[in-house]
Amino acid sequence: MTNNNSFQGVLDRLEAVNKHLNLPPAIYNRLRSPRRSLIVSLPVRMDNGEVKCFEGYRVHYNTARGPAKGGIRYHQNVTLNEIITLAALMTWKCAIVDLPFGGAKGGVACDTTKMSRDEIKRMTRRYTHEIAMFIGPESDILAPDMYTDEQIMAWIMDTYSTIKGYSVPGVVTGKPVCLGGSLGRKTATSHGLVTVLLEAVKHLGLSYKDLAVSIIGFGNVGATAADILHEKGMRIVGLADSKAAIYNAKGLDIKSVKRYKADKKSLAGFKDAEQVSLNELVGLKCDILIPAAMEGQINSKNAKNVKARIVAEGANDPTTREADAILNDKGVFVLPDILANAGGVVVSYFEWVQDIQRYFWHEDEIQKRLENIMVKAFKHVLTIAQDKKVDMRTAAMILGVGRVAEASAVRGLYP
C-alpha cells in the first residue's frame, strides 16, 4: 500500500512541475491541499452477532473541472494519507484525458478476505449511508478499485437510490450492465493501457511482434492486458500475483496460466515456468514491464535492475520517486499511471454520460472513443515532453496540473 509519506511525494512532484508552470502562489497553494476530507465510523453487525466498527474515508481533492470522480478500495492498510494521495492523482489523471471531472478517492480499512459476502454488503451499505451527503451524479461519482467490484457498486447505487427515493444509476460507475453499467467498462483500463503502450512502441521505432513483456499483478488489469498483448504477437515472459512470480523467457501459455490461477488461486507452483521472487522478476530480461498491482512495486532497491525499454504503469503510483529518477537515468521510457491507466476513468465517464441520458452505446463505439481519447492524450503529453525536454511523467503532470490550475483561476475564489 502507499506509505505514510505518499502525499509528500505528490507535493514534491507538484513543486517540481511548478518550475515549468510558474503558477501564481494563490493557485499553487490551493492545489497543495484537498478540498474536503471525510472520515466516518462504520458500525457493522457481523455474522456472529458482534458489532464491529470500521473506519472509512472519502476525499474530494479538487472539483474545479467538474464533479469529483474516483474509486473505492477495501483493504486493511487503507489510511487517510493514502486516500488523499490517490485523490490528487485522480485529479491530474482526469485532466490529462480532458474529462469534465475533478479527483476523488475513498476507502474502508478492512480485510475482506476474512469477511463473508453478507458482512461486506452490510458494511458497504453503512458506508454509503455515512457518505451520502458527499456523493451524487452531480457532485461525486464512485467506482470500483482494489477489492471492490460491480456487485459492491450495485449495493452503493441501491442504498443511495433508497435514500433519495428514486433510482440514481449515475452515482456510481463500474456497475452491472443490467443496472446501467457500460459495455467495455471491465476491460477499459487494460485497453487504454495497451493503446498508449502501442503508441509508445511506435514512437520508439520498435516492432511489437515478439516483444517480451513482464506483468506484475494478474488481476483484472494485468490478466486482460496479457490477453490483448499476447493476441498482438507479444511474448508474456513474466507474471506475478500477490503470492508468487513466474518467468519463462520463451513465453508463457496465458490460457494455461489463467486456468491454473483459477484452480489454485495463486501462480505458485505453475510448472511450465521458473519460480522467482517479485524483485527478481523486476530485474529479469524483458522489453516491456507493466506494474499492475500495488503501489511502490518499483522502488530504489530494484529499479537499478530493470532491463525493460518501456515501463507502462497499469497500477496507481507503482513507482517511487527515487525509482523514477533511476529509471530516467537509465533511459527507460516510462508511461506514467496518470496517463497509462486512465482508460478506466474514460469509460467511467462514458457510463456516467449514458446514465444521465438514459441512452446506451454499442461496445464498438465505446472502444473507438476510448482509443481516440487515449491516443490524443499520449500525443499531447509526448509533445510537451519533447518541447520542454522532460520525461513523460513530468510532461503529464504539466498537462494535468496546468488544466486544473487554469479552471481554478477562471472560476476564481469565493467569497
Beta strand 310-312 pairing with 51-62:
unpaired
The answer to whether 264 is a known catalytic residue is no
Neighbours of 44 (CB within 10 A): 21
Catalytic residue among 69, 93, 105, 186: 105
Can you tell me the distance from the alpha carbon of 87 to that of 70, in angstroms, rounded to the nearest whole number? 7
List helix spans (H) across 307-391.
321-330, 337-340, 343-357, 363-388
Total residue length of the chain: 415
Question: At 98, is the secondary structure helix, strand, or coil?
Answer: coil
Q: Which amino acid is at 304?
A: K
Can you tell me the distance from the alpha carbon of 190 to that of 342, in angstroms, rounded to the nearest whole number? 9
Can you tell me the distance from the alpha carbon of 334 to that of 332, in angstroms, rounded to the nearest whole number? 6
CA angle 304, 193, 222 (to 5 degrees): 75
Can you tell me the distance from the alpha carbon of 327 to that of 312, in angstroms, rounded to the nearest whole number? 12
Dig out the grid coordinates for 310 from the structure.
518501456
Dig out the grid coordinates for 176 from the structure.
452491472
Q: In what order do the strands lie in the sheet with 310-312?
A: 274-276, 245-247, 235-240, 212-216, 288-291, 310-312, 333-335
Task: Give the DSSP H/E element, type plus range, for residue 213.
Answer: strand 212-216
Can you tell me the distance from the alpha carbon of 28 to that of 404, in angstroms, rounded to the nearest whole number? 10
Torsion angle of the four alpha carbons 99, 100, 106, 111, in this order, in degrees rounded to the nearest 10: -30
Q: Which residues are catalytic?
A: 105
